[in-house]
Amino acid sequence: MVQETHIGAANLIFPLFIVDGKNKKTEVASMPGIYRYSVDNLLHEVEACAKLGLMSFDLFPNIDDSLKDKYATESHRDGSLYLRAISEVKKHFPEVCVVTDVAMDPYSSDGHDGLVENGEILNDETLEILGKMALAHAHAGADIIAPSDMMDGRVGYIRKVLDEHKFTHVSIMSYTAKYASAFYGPFRDALNSAPKHGDKKTYQMNPANQQEALIEARLDEHEGADFLMVKPALAYLDVIKLIKDNTDLPVAAYNVSGEYAMVKASAQRGWLDERRTTVEVLTSIRRAGATAILTYHAKEVLEKGWI
């Protein structure tokens, strides 16, 4: 009667990794219970999740090195693995919500989210590529475009491109406060997308900063974002709360791969009670103010009846 915070399937977005081929399902070594699926198996997974009431998915592609280049051209090529995955999911399950990731890193031979020239990230030149990517996702059927690249001005740029092509109904979930975090390690293993040189500190935020998140939030709101996301989540509950208190937009949080791996690794050793820890993590993210939680635990908590 007096419990203030509840989590339900409607609050959860399940990130799914995709790989080329047929009948593939390979576990990510640093993320027990999480797999890379070929498109046929992706459809089975989406169906199984939908039966549990889990209706929102964020897709990420593992791209063969031979398809990567400086300009991430594979990211908007007609017939690419990622675009096929989006349209197949929407064709078979029109009622599910497909969130798509906009950033160059899975397709870039430099492994960066933006275009690299002489070791520098070119912000404005990157926007053009992100715009093409977002448009290709919208054409394939994406419901929500989620730019995770952290270039300045990309929300406004993508909004304009989508509107000009009559995709006014496609929403933008902006990675508003995305920190240069060590917690992304297992995700980069899953996609084989680690930067080939340097780090992401010139575009992702300094983990020591809180006020800066408000600048990012105001910019994204002004540029037309429909959701503001904080990432990582568990280590940044203060930032979730700060943004929640300063916007009327829905706030999302990404309980990232390293946060998942910590719980799984301790549970495997019997050092933590997995059920209680997982529910406590998700509850704390909701309590801080996130209405949408991207989490690798999404299917498991519903399947096992933990929430």
Residues taking part in catalysis: 178, 231
**CB closer to ligand PBG, 45 vs 101:** 101
Least distance from ligand PBG to the Cβ atom of residue 210, Å? 20
Q: What span, in angstroms and rounded, lies between the C-alpha atoms of 283 and 227?
A: 20
Q: How many residues does the chain have?
A: 307
* Contacting residues toward ligand PBG, per CB under 6 A: 101, 103, 105, 113, 148-149, 184, 187-188, 200, 256-257
Least distance from ligand PBG to the Cβ atom of residue 58, Å? 9
**CB closer to ligand PBG, 20 vs 113:** 113
Least distance from ligand PBG to the Cβ atom of residue 184, Å? 4
Least distance from ligand PBG to the Cβ atom of residue 103, Å? 3
- For residue 164, what are the contacts with CB-CB under 8 A and spacing of at least 6? none
**CB closer to ligand PBG, 159 vs 200:** 200
What residues form DSSP beta bridges with 27?
A: 35
Q: Which burial class, exposed, middle or buried, applies to 102 when counting CB atoms under 10 A from its CB (0-12, 13-18, 19+)?
A: buried
Reading the block at residue 229, the tokens are 């996301």
Alpha helices in the chain (DSSP H): 39-51, 81-92, 123-140, 154-164, 185-191, 211-223, 237-245, 257-268, 274-288, 298-303
**CB closer to ligand PBG, 212 vs 246:** 212
What residues form DSSP beta bridges with 59?
A: 16, 100
